[in-house]
Structure 1
């Protein structure tokens, strides 16, 4: 049930005359807007986090299950009020657009940009309510500080309420604010800029989680959560050697110079598993920019190295399409057969076995260095130097009981397993022989693997070598 703390009636103007003269939005526009009345206030726990990574979901039934709107689809280059169709559904934006300039703070190629007293509202309801709303926000370019609020409507957009506290945007880094709303009523949300005048803010990865079997869990029920809950390890963006790429079933940072991912991040629970068969359908990833090198399955033929999955095929069997997604070559790296078929496979099987015991696991896996030994001997590269053969394959797995609000459930006793396996023939088939600390992998790679965990807890978890069971 929603609870109301009523405030005086606030009626936004139905006509805004906006003048702009900066180079990146130099069109003079008279903007007619929808009428949005904010008639009250809803109490909600509001939690601020710094330097939080992007989250990504791709759920069916978006009106019921949670989602993350990354603002990558759709197009709106004008500040004029208009509807825009995004991956999550139809939104109305006024004094707001989808920005793709270098000054727009974003994880992928676009984010939402709001100025003056602009706002963005969903044109659809979450029919079964929502548990948590998370928003990433930052200052556009060198603009000054602004404030904004989350708003919600329980009557299909006729009336709106402020939710939680006022948020101040004063950083050029995309930070996270979390609103714990916990309502079972049909609801739609929006963002309303309150102060800062012509200063612009960027909003990216607007995330809603629910208890209906998606989002951040369902009170002990296996769920399909964000694939990047604990952060963007390398602050991946649009650069060619640290390119942020979102797939429905995993997130990755692609390195064009290496021809492989730097890292892949995904969530594992029983909800991601089903009866789909392994498709064995390796394919080039043509969602990468046209200028990028795109490996094909033939580039590995006769090299002595396996096409090694980072996000495993068997972790995504809830649909045929999900399993097929793991066969994009952007999720593949040259792996020694003994590592791929024994050590690595044994660890993958162990983690999947934990989901049968009611566990959910947040996993980040990647490669480091150059030069490995396959069945044909040592090689630093394959495909005429286009693809780097890694020196090691590493993986970090954070393990929780199935549940909700995963970041806030992590304690200094949470189990975290980190392994780093040489990419050679003759490696020990027992993955436990390669356990190490998260700190050691971070020192090796320069990444921040669990950045969204409070620092005091993160420091403990990242310094420990796991000594838990292995089967």
Structure 2
């Protein structure tokens, strides 16, 4: 069961991490596809959602830290999202990001799946071709979606680090999970709202395409196939000021928790809407994760009374 203790130095490290990401305009030099003049130019602003809109504004649910000793709960600031990464599982525990219409542009999918070379020395780097539905029966499923970062080539390319991926059943990834991403982006947020979103996974054992038995790991045991995949989104109208102070018990919150199993889903228009069958509460996600050895404290930065109300709230 994951339990963590904070030291003063750790708090300072995390604080520094968030301060560093507080510029609205990008000076990021992460690798990405260099735009050809004939291709679409980047969208509105090369926005790094930071400062008042920083990617971890609602909290650090496992108190992850950017220290190599925290190999099962290693905090990585990828600028366009923040994640807790597990060395032994080879996948993120969770990924957190802020989304608003300014993050949408005209840039297409870069599809440059690749290892993240910024991991501590000696850690295995999952390669872009380490798994796929053609070889293992699982998609490289985004946590922070490509579609949420289309304002620039660099922003979109950042979502293709393999530290942002999990082995996800193709029918789930391409069906209801994709539909949920579209609904959040286009309908829940649109142009007038903004959202704080966090996605994670836990457990071991998923069913891939063309398989009859669940797989616990792939890539020669170096990448865990999660059993459950969850997402929580807090949605509120755009406004100036500290968003934490604008979140109330009446704020819209959406939570889903879905088994990572190919046989449960489909990709027809009707089947894509099946994410609604898996609506749940944050409290229920936390309780189920705990049964699988993972302690989560979601929305930890939200004032306690509001946090308690939101955790018990199921989207209707």
Is TM-score (shorter-chain normalized) higher than 0.5?
yes
Distance 1:320 1:459 in 2: 39
Name the SS of the counterpart of 1:360 in structure 2: strand
SS across alignment from 1:300: coil
Of the three residues 155, 161, 171, the one matched with 1:328 is 161
- SS of the residue aligned with 1:367? strand
Given candidates 31, 44, 55, the residue that maps to 1:227 is: 55
Instruction: For 1:386 and 1:209, locate their aligned partners in 2 and report how far apart those are by CA, in whole Å.
Output: 34
The answer to whether the aligner puts 1:456 opposite 2:296 as a matched pair is no
Is 1:383 the equivalent of 2:211?
Answer: no
Bigger CA radius of gyration: 1
Q: 1:340 aligns with which of 173, 177, 184?
A: 173
Report how far residue 457 of structure 1 moved. Answer: 0.7
Q: Which residue of 2 aligns with 1:416?
A: 253
Counterpart of 1:392 in structure 2 is 228
Count of matched residue positions in the alignment of Structure 1 and Structure 2: 267
Is structure 2 residue 7 aligned with structure 1 residue 106? no
Deviations 1:91-114 (A, max 9, x none): xxxxxxxxxxx9652369x57xxx
Other-structure match for 1:319:
152
Partner of 2:189: 355
TM-score normalised to structure 2 length:
0.79
Contact map agreement 2:101 2:191 (CA 8 A) in 1:
no
Cα pair distance change 1:226/1:103, threshold 3 Å = closer
- Does the CA-based 8 Å contact 1:107-1:236 persist in structure 2? no
Give the C-alpha shift of residue 292 in structure 1. 1.2
2:30 is aligned to: none
Q: Note closer, same or farther for the CA distance 1:294–1:107 as it changes in structure 2 (3 Å cut).
A: farther
Question: Where does 1:33-44 land on structure 2 (aligned, <5 Å)?
Answer: none
TM-score where L is the length of structure 1? 0.54
Which structure features the higher share of helix residues? 2
Equivalent pair of 1:306/1:334 in contact (CA under 8 Å)? yes
Call closer, same or farther: CA 1:289–1:346 in 2, change over 3 Å: same
Q: CA deviation at 1:356?
A: 2.0
Residue 283 of structure 1 aligns to a residue whose secondary structure is: coil
| Cα distance in 2, alignment partners of residues 295 and 223 from structure 1 | 25
- Determine the C-alpha separation between the residues in 2 that align with 1:244 and 1:328: 15
- What is the aligned partner in structure 1 of residue 238 from structure 2? 402
Preserved contact between residue 223 and residue 271 of structure 1 (Cα < 8 Å): no
Q: Unaligned regions of 5+ residues in structure 1, if any? A: 1-101, 112-135, 137-202, 215-221
Question: Does 1 or 2 have the higher relative contact order (CA < 8 Å, sep 6+)?
Answer: 2
Change in CA separation of 1:338 and 1:232 when aligned onto 2, cut-off 3 Å: same
Q: Distance in 1 between matches of 2:126 and 2:105?
A: 29
* Deviation of the 1:299 alpha carbon: 1.3
Structure with greater strand share of residues: 1
Cα shift at 1:209: 7.0
C-alpha distance in 2 between matches for 1:278 and 1:360: 22
Cα contact 1:259–1:386 (8 A) shared by 2:
yes
